[in-house]
């Protein structure tokens, strides 16, 4: 987890390297504009190249910086336990699944620990991940939830959703779309979670998430909102974590 600078102003990046000692300076990669590339895409590329979590993901073999978000969420709320049965909705490119494999012991690498199960679903086709069962599916199509329940073949301990619609460029429209995805994931969770189970979903702050919160509070003992340190400060994303499913 990223550490905040101490009183002296010193601190470390997620790579563990001190960036604020005397005589040091940040060496940022600058991206020049190119023909056919928009200003916004140039900015995005420059941000990616200089993002310490992107660099750390590459170094540690994760498929994206989102892996650190689920790590930080689980470090705080402890839902990815050995033996847990997990459904990951919107799992591409696979960072959350990679983290879950280790934490629920899906590959049975820790002797004496219960072996977990991970089912990942996404609209995009994905490269296989050892310890996971992956399916390509649009979760918003008719009867998609029934297909996932059939693949699961039983109850789940955790339903987590990182689903997000393609950006329209209109903040309120994007907010409403992601809330609709969260609600669909929540209703699916109501169907498949074991009593005491956990639901985790990404939302975008924007006002409409209040109804989702009320819905979850009716079905879970505790509902919390958390913005992981690895979530970019300029992003409106946060995560809702509902624990203790009432059944």
CA 160 – CA 200 distance, rounded (Å)? 4
**pLDDT digit string (tens) for 65-96?**
899 999 999 999 999 999 999 999 999 999 99
- Give the pLDDT confidence score for residue 189 in this predicted structure: 98
Q: Mean pLDDT, to the nearest integer, of 211-237?
A: 91
Kindly list the domain boundaries of the chain, sorted by start residue: 17-50, 66-245
The CATH topology of domain 66-245 is: Rossmann fold (3.40.50)
Q: What is the pLDDT of residue 40?
A: 54
Q: Does 96 appear as a known binding residue?
A: yes
The answer to whether 138 is a known ligand-binding residue is yes
Task: State the pLDDT at residue 12.
Answer: 43
| Residue 202 annotated in active site | yes
Confidence of residue 64 (pLDDT cuts 50, 70, 90): confident
Which range is least confidently modeled, 103-112, 143-152, 165-174, 231-240? 165-174
Count CA atoms within 13 Å of residue 93 on its CB side. Answer: 8
**Structure confidence at residue 149 (pLDDT):** 95
For the chain, the 3-state helix, strand and coil shares in percent, each to the nearest 5, are 35, 20, 45
Judge whether 162 is annotated as a binding position: yes
pLDDT tens-digit map of 153-162: 999 999 999 9
Q: Which residue has the higher pLDDT, 2 or 172?
A: 172
- Residue 64: partners with Cβ closer than 8 Å, 6 or more residues away: 57, 93, 94, 95
Catalytic residue among 17, 202, 227, 246: 202
Q: Annotation-wise, does 151 bind a ligand?
A: no
Determine which helix (DSSP H) or strand (DSSP E) holds 99, and give its type and residue range: helix 95-103
Mean pLDDT of 22-41: 50
88 is in an annotated binding site: no
Q: Which of these ranges, 48-52, 127-131, 163-167, 180-184, has the smallest mean pLDDT? A: 48-52
Helices marked H in 115-170: 144-152
Residue 18 pLDDT greater than 80, yes or no: no
């Amino acid at each position: 987890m990223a550490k905040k600078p101490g009183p002296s102003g010193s601190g470390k990046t997620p790579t563990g390297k001190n960036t604020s000692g005397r005589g040091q300076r940040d060496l940022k990669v600058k991206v020049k504009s190119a023909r056919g590339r928009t200003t916004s895409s140039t900015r995005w590329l420059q941000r990616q190249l200089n993002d310490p979590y992107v660099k750390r993901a590459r170094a540690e073999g994760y498929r994206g910086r989102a892996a650190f978000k689920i790590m930080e969420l689980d470090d705080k709320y402890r839902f990815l336990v050995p033996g847990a049965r997990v459904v990951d909705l919107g799992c591409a490119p696979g960072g959350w699944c990679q983290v879950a494999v280790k934490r629920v012991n899906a590959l049975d690498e820790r002797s004496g620990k219960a072996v977990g199960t991970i089912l990942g679903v996404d609209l995009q086709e994905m490269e296989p991940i050892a310890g996971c069962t992956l399916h390509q599916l649009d979760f918003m199509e008719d009867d998609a939830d029934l297909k996932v329940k059939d693949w699961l073949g039983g109850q789940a301990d955790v339903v987590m959703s990182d689903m997000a619609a393609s950006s329209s460029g209109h903040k309120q429209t994007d907010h409403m779309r992601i809330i609709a995805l969260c609600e669909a994931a929540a209703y699916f969770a109501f169907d498949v979670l074991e009593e005491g189970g956990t639901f985790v979903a990404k939302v975008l702050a924007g006002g409409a998430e209040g109804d989702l919160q009320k819905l979850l509070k009716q079905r879970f003992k505790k509902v919390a909102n958390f913005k992981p340190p690895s979530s970019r400060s300029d992003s409106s994303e946060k995560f809702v974590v509902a624990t203790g499913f009432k059944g």
